[in-house]
A = this chain, B = another copy of it.
Amino acid sequence: MRSALRFSMRCIVRETFPPSDRTRVVREPQRGVYDRESIYKILDEAFVCHVGFSVEGQPYVIPTLFARVADALYFHGSAASRMLGNLSGGIPVCVTATLVDGFVLARSVFNHSMNYRSVVALGKATLVNAPQEKLNALHGFTEKILPGRWMDARRPNEKELKATSILRLALKEVSAKVRSGPPLDDEPDYALPVWAGVIPLRLHAGAPIRDERCDPAIPLPVYLQNFKR
């Protein structure tokens, strides 16, 4: 009884994106994740997304920086925005962010896999025109990677804001797909004398390399001294 109650309360608290026919994870449905908290956590850890859009039937996929601000994704959109032209209604896009967590080595080649977390967001992207919204997006890009950098670097002036093309995608039709844990082999294969397990992967940040034109008297900022991803 108690655990049933706790379960139902968690369901109430954990807000979900109802999966649409377009975002429901069909292959390996057990890997589908639809709750907002998990999805936002993936989006906030990733900083590069791949934006897909179509021109005359040909899809294009372009890597670009992005940030989530409240319930929207903002991404640099020079390529997509050229395509956008005057379509004030926006263009259909798919924004995908992927975090790679490990190589999964099964006893059989067939069951080799990756541990990963990826989010797919669908919808119509629109060009951001309001300077304040652009500033908020740039603030998001900068601070998600390096909290503290925004107040240290020279902030964008009006001309730069104008030259920056940013697109916005409201987070409405979204799902995540997550694989974690050990390999899953076919039962008979567990008897094979083959090493099996996971090679963990993570994006590692090395020691900051000072620009040759940066005065050595300028100390390494606190936010960079123990920077880790």
Q: How many residues of A contact B (CB 8 A)?
A: 91
In this assembly, does A90 line the interface, its C-beta being within 8 Å of a C-beta of chain B?
A: no
Q: Which of B48, B193, B206, B212 is the one whose CB lies under 8 Å from A202?
A: B206
Tell me the A residues contacting B by CB distance below 8 Å.
Answer: 22, 26-27, 48, 50-54, 57-63, 65, 78-79, 82, 92-96, 98, 100, 103, 105-110, 112, 114, 116, 118, 120, 122, 138, 141-142, 145-146, 149-150, 152-157, 160, 163-164, 182-183, 189-190, 192-215, 218-221, 224, 227, 229
Counting chain B CB atoms within 10 Å of each CB, the highest count among A60, A163, A189, A227 belongs to A60
Contact B200 A203 (CB under 8 A): no
Alpha-carbon distance A225/B174, docked complex (angstroms): 40
Q: Which of B52, B57, B150 is the one whose CB lies under 8 Å from A61?
A: B52
Q: A58-B22, A63-B118 are in contact. Are A154 and B200 (CB under 8 A)?
A: no
Contact A98 B63 (CB under 8 A): yes
Contact B96 A182 (CB under 8 A): no
Q: Which of B58, B78, B219 is the one whose CB lies under 8 Å from A195?
A: B219
